[in-house]
Chains A and B, each alone.
Chain A
Amino acid sequence: MSPERRGCGGRALSSNGADPLLAVDDLVVAYPIARGLAGAVLRRPEQRVLAVDGVSFSVDRGELVALVGESGCGKTTTAQAVLRLVEAMSGRVSFDGRDITELSNRALRPLRRNMQIIYQDPYESLDPRMTVRDAVEEPMLIHGLGGSREARRELVLEAVARVELTPPDLFLERYPHELSGGQRQRVAIAASLVLEPDLLVADEPVSMLDVSVRAGVLNLLDRLRQDGLGILMITHDLSTAARYADRIAVMYLGRIVEVGPASEIVENPQHPYTKALLSVVPRRDPRDRKRPQVLTGEAPDATRIPSGCRFHPRCPVAIEECRAHDPELLRPRNAVSPDHRAACILA
């Protein structure tokens, strides 16, 4: 089953005219750089790094969108800004049609239960002193939900069962050190599900797990997506994104350089960066050996953003115009899908 053929729910909802679950519009996030005492004394101007520089995308219900890129491209910052864990400098983040960028922390609190996050490191994702039951119950206690103790226990059991830890009551009184990495990540997901969120942000959810259990956690996320959950997955692994995402957005130096349906991005990439990135993904089949198109130079540095197209210093096909012209995200000439966008003047 290819991702496109799997596509359900999400698209339909938004084509009904309703707002997408999550809409990010021209998001900009900047971090200040410490200039040091000497810098302060000499009155050097304060500098900022634009970690995210004008990013727009959306996530629908029942849709899994993957943000892909190398470290330092701004994908994690984007995820944190979506949840308002870091503050945006400008731009809008709308959740269920409601602009949350300006909401106060107090006003945001009830909304927080609707958007949950799971992190990369399963070994630190649970408090070592809390049982599975405590960990899954805690979000309800924070939000004052779940009613009585007994009712909460039922909800905890239900959540644990939903993440396929069976039999659930066997897991309730276990401590994290008695669980494997995959099981811990499942408990973390259960602790998110117990609040019945609409959006789940998954920041590299499996990169620290063993290969043999990765698929289990990802397949669980896939089933949750089918149940109508909107998922924003941050990953550096294009193979995972290709298999599980409905849409892929490729980021480079704080910008989305290409976005579109997963199959289209993988089979018909239009941006030279996406092409290079795809070519270096090692294939499983030894017979499928191709010479990868390796980009030279070091990983990009957000403190020194090149002029024009920010990819041009490493681009194998750059022309003179790329130095000056900062391309917009437009539908490429050779695109098949109507939703395909790439930021390259040659595409």
Chain B
Amino acid sequence: MSIVINEPGLIAEPEPIRSRGGILWDTIRRRPSATIGATILSLIIACAVLAPWIAPYGLHEQVGPPFGAPSWQHPLGLDDGGVDMVTLLMWGARISLVVGFAATLVSMLIGGTIGVVAGYFGGKVDGILMRITDYFLVIPDVPLMIVVAAIWGPSLFHIVIVIGILLWTSTARVIRAQVKSVRERVYVKRARALGAGHVRIVMRHVLPQVAPLLIANTVLTIAVAVFDETALAFLGLGDPSRISLGKVIENAFQRAAISAGAWWAIVPPGVLVALLILSCSLLGQALEDALNPRLRVAHVSARGFRLRPLVGRNADAV
């Protein structure tokens, strides 16, 4: 037990979590980093979703010379095929996000299930599942993705599956830890003592408590999935028929955009990927922080406590 546990003001009261949307919305409203992350993320998602309607030019439409410089008509210039970069980025973000979300969904389903089952049942089941997770955790994911993608051949579906089945380990561990702690809470013990079934306890008590953490983890996983897709595409293992942000960077690199001095073909897609990952990290991290009771108040920091001068009060009064 901590010294400060009983003193008000020394620790933040754990924020009551009531509705699933509640914690997400609450965090976005209260934490500036989460606000920024959520804003950027929703802007990118909006552009990507609306690409077919708001993109200024066609995706395969040659509107100028290869590596045409930025101009008023084409603020980010043209790529090696003379396609408008803004258009390319919108469509690219679309594919990157699809891969990111789909792969995350796969990994959440696997990781969430394994985490809940291992954490809830504990004992032997937990031992076996966590051993499996440990092995998956140790296998280096990028090389395995490369090997699998190389063998199966490049396609969007393969990429989603490959990323998805390699990313679930951290989710499984985080969720398991949380489920284990929820399982030991008195109200769950009491429900068990009452004779409630496993399904009921999991659905009614465990899952709602774990859901916010699962959301935070999902957001962080999206960032990793987007990164992995970019890396795979860069290594020439992306789906050749789809243009993702990774593919845009790879194209520029392969077609020697750098030696051609066409920075606009390579800087913006990277910035966009970085923004995408940054916004997910900011949002996910803020959510995790909000849910983490272990981030207590530091006992020592650069700034000490403040003194308020004795004004108007009789300092000699005892």
Touching chains A and B, CB distance < 8 Å: yes
**With a CB–CB cut-off of 8 A, which chain A residues contact B204?**
127, 138
Q: Which of B16, B189, B193, B195 sits near A128, CB closer than 8 Å?
A: B16
Total interface residues in chain B, CB < 8 Å: 20
Total interface residues in chain A, CB < 8 Å: 29
Determine whether the beta carbon of A112 is less than 8 Å from that of B194. yes
Closest CB-CB distance, B133 to chain A, in whole Å? 19
Determine whether the beta carbon of B193 is less than 8 Å from that of A116. yes
With contact pairs A128-B16, A175-B18, A177-B16 given, residues A112 and B186 touching in the complex (Cβ less than 8 Å): no
Stretch of A118-126, A148-156, A315-323 with 4 or more beta carbons under 8 angstroms from chain B: A118-126
Closest to B20 in A: A129
With contact pairs A108-B195, A142-B196 given, residues A117 and B190 touching in the complex (Cβ less than 8 Å): yes
Determine whether the beta carbon of A129 is less than 8 Å from that of B185. no
Determine whether the beta carbon of B187 is less than 8 Å from that of A129. no
With contact pairs A129-B208, A129-B209, A175-B16 given, residues A119 and B192 touching in the complex (Cβ less than 8 Å): no
**With a CB–CB cut-off of 8 A, which chain A residues contact B209?**
127-129
Say yes or no for A109: interface residue by CB 8 A criterion: yes
**With a CB–CB cut-off of 8 A, which chain A residues contact B196?**
138, 142
Residues 136-161 (chain A) with a chain B CB within 8 angstroms:
138-139, 142-143
Say yes or no for B191: interface residue by CB 8 A criterion: yes
Closest CB-CB distance, B148 to chain A, in whole Å? 33
Majority SS of interface residues in chain B?
helix
In the assembly, what is the distance between CA of A188 and CA of B186, in Å?
10
Closest CB-CB distance, B153 to chain A, in whole Å? 43
Closest CB-CB distance, A285 to chain B, in whole Å? 27
Closest CB-CB distance, B249 to chain A, in whole Å? 44
Say yes or no for B54: interface residue by CB 8 A criterion: no
Determine whether the beta carbon of A112 is less than 8 Å from that of B195. yes
Closest CB-CB distance, A52 to chain B, in whole Å? 18
**With a CB–CB cut-off of 8 A, which chain A residues contact B190?**
117-119, 125, 188, 191
Q: Which of B13, B16, B18, B185 sits near A124, CB closer than 8 Å?
A: B185
In the assembly, what is the distance between CA of A113 and CA of B194, in Å?
6
Say yes or no for A42: interface residue by CB 8 A criterion: no
In the assembly, what is the distance between CA of A177 and CA of B204, in Å?
18
Determine whether the beta carbon of A127 is less than 8 Å from that of B187. yes
Say yes or no for B147: interface residue by CB 8 A criterion: no
Say yes or no for B17: interface residue by CB 8 A criterion: yes
**With a CB–CB cut-off of 8 A, which chain B residues contact A143?**
194-195
Say yes or no for A18: interface residue by CB 8 A criterion: no
Determine whether the beta carbon of B200 is less than 8 Å from that of A142. yes
Task: Convert A92-132 into 0s and 1s, putting 1 for each residue whose CB lies closer than 8 angstroms to a CB of B.
Answer: 00000000000000001100110011111100111111000
In the assembly, what is the distance between CA of A118 and CA of B190, in Å?
7
Among all A-B residue pairs, the 8 with the closest Cβ atoms: A112-B195, A177-B16, A125-B186, A119-B186, A124-B186, A109-B195, A142-B196, A124-B185
8 contacts between A and B (CB under 8 A): A121-B186, A127-B205, A128-B18, A138-B194, A138-B204, A175-B16, A175-B18, A177-B16
